[in-house]
Structure 1
């Protein structure tokens, strides 16, 4: 039978070989019932003699467990070998355990540092850059009769009006580098107008282009081309016109001018745009756009999206070109690593805040929440289409686009009710990007 000792003060339990398992208990120290019984009657059992312990009946040093194992004076006990040198095999095991612990602690420290760096840098970037976005004041219409106001957007969904301006100025009018007002009466035209609907789940986006030549009622001005609304009354008149036309509430406005358009294209290193068939090129150096994929810098991309006279459907094909460009830019800026790599995130936010302006109702917190909630959206998750068109006409010596009120009603209802996915799945004849790209 082995005898075991407990050092005063709760020292390690030691077997005859002197080995421990690193927890203060010998590898063989967890005795089975037979060995425990051999040590003598348990305290309190018939015939057992209790050790009175320390003064006033206190427990003996080492606690109740130690007292039970020590037994009475005179019991046979092995010498205290707890300080005996460990064997070579045991020493190797100890060294391996120490190395393993050091590696694990080091890896954990590096992981924590990396997480803190990414989260901290991302939070700083959101805080810093959202505060740099240029805000446009007083963009929403006032004094609109209640009957002409659209119902509020469904909870959680939002609709943006994205406007591309032909500012007729060499000075940037949008973004953090703006050097001229974004609107002066008669000085700017809205050449691009898109309603961007973001559903409540923030997993997709739906982009609907409103042709600039659409013949529509403009409050206080009678009927005219849609792009005249911005020229005459700036953002408030354009928003009022679009809301009355669609009965869709515009929650926010986002504006970029052609100067910013060129800069953004160059900042992302140009874009690859596929032309589906060879067509004439009236802007820039002239010639043709040959069928195939073209890598375009800012100037080339601007020529591409502004072209309409050489296109079979004029303004409608031009809106698809604009969508084609937007999809190409988004594919580069919304890559999987944009939101996880702090350096990529910084560069992307630098590019966007330098060219884009938003309404002053879109707070820094709103913008941060929007960016974060849509971090998983890629270009493939976005649908691009034109508003339904009934045909073309010439009015007051102007070539105009006639919107199809009947076909449009279902689209605008789906946008109001946040049911765009269902509408697209159940509607035929949608003029969607991919069907036609020139």
Structure 2
């Protein structure tokens, strides 16, 4: 009798004892692809976090122009008050030259919510096309016409009507559009430098100044030479004007120090600390730059050459005369010379529209 046929069993060869099954290997192209994707996701996440930090910061410091000006400007001649028009700058498209007025106030002894006279006024003019930047240091003793307030020193404009009146006054003086302002005070400046970890800077001379009427921390005591300046000593440096050239020399020192700040802000270390830095200075800054435009400016700022910012004193040396008016030592500008000079400076390097 035939034996029943046994089913053929498949030859299942077990791997040798102690050896794991062979795993599928990634090809070199797959490794490069996945690694690149991982790096991209990391950079995208970091970029998103930084953009969020800047946008959040912009929202904290933004002040709507409609809610940040007095209802009226009080005239000096006894006539009826004049309502102030709401100034709402158009959205910046990132292509036209943009002019931003930096205002540094000395708020010591000033009532809450009131604006002090400006201790520093600098107009920053940026051409986004050729990436050039000009700094115009506006001398605070310049004698100007302040709308609805008569003639006075330039630094009185912010005290009379806030940053928007200061913008209008500077516009009338220079015949340039002033798109935005950024305002801070001594504490804001100190906070910024401290958040940056201080700045190594060459102090050009020994600086000494004591005022018994003031808080001792604002006394000036700096040695000539390379110094590591923290917030308070940096403030001493940019405020010092007890020399023969007074405000003229001080404006040049401020320009040089702004260049140093810009360079430090663009350093790798500062970029890593950017969210912390922005949170630290936000309580001391206000601006009418909308968050969207501030984000554009932040991107543009990384492309600008800030190694040697062009600095110009306004009014320039041949465009004013010294006078005493109403007991005030003032600089009476030759307005026509000032306007021609500024436009020549800008036109020499710009490809953007000056009068947008």
TM-score (norm 1): 0.60
Q: State the alpha-carbon separation in 2 of the partners of residues 256 and 318 from structure 1.
A: 18
What's the CA shift for 1:135?
A: 1.4
Partner of 2:60, secondary structure, is coil
Q: Residue 395 of structure 1 corresponds to which residue in structure 2?
A: 325
Q: Residue 5 of structure 2 corresponds to which residue in structure 1?
A: none
TM-score (norm 2): 0.73
Matched, 1:319 2:269: no
Q: Residue 203 of structure 2 corresponds to which residue in structure 1?
A: 275
Q: State the alpha-carbon separation in 1 of the partners of residues 185 and 174 from structure 2.
A: 24
Unpaired runs of 5+ in structure 1? 1-93, 146-152, 172-179, 424-438
Q: State the alpha-carbon separation in 1 of the partners of residues 269 and 304 from structure 2.
A: 12
Q: Residue 273 of structure 2 corresponds to which residue in structure 1?
A: 344
Quick one: which of 232, 237, 252 aligns to 2:180? 252
Which gives a bigger RCO, structure 1 or 2 (Cα 8 Å, sep 6+)?
Answer: 2
Give the number of aligned pairs.
Answer: 303
Partner of 2:136, secondary structure, is strand
Q: State the alpha-carbon separation in 1 of the partners of residues 207 and 51 from structure 2.
A: 47
Q: Residue 161 of structure 1 corresponds to which residue in structure 2?
A: 101
What's the CA shift for 1:110?
A: 2.4
CA deviations over 1:23-51 (Å, ceiling 9, x no partner): xxxxxxxxxxxxxxxxxxxxxxxxxxxxx
Q: Residue 413 of structure 1 corresponds to which residue in structure 2?
A: 343
Unpaired runs of 5+ in structure 2? 1-21, 74-81, 86-91, 352-356
Change (3 A) 1:380 1:156: same
CA deviations over 1:211-270 (Å, ceiling 9, x no partner): 111112222333221112222222232222211111111111110111211111211112
Q: Residue 297 of structure 1 corresponds to which residue in structure 2?
A: 230
Q: State the alpha-carbon separation in 1 of the partners of residues 232 and 110 from structure 2.
A: 14
Quick one: which of 304, 322, 331 aligns to 1:377? 304
Partner of 2:104, secondary structure, is strand
CA deviations over 1:45-79 (Å, ceiling 9, x no partner): xxxxxxxxxxxxxxxxxxxxxxxxxxxxxxxxxxx
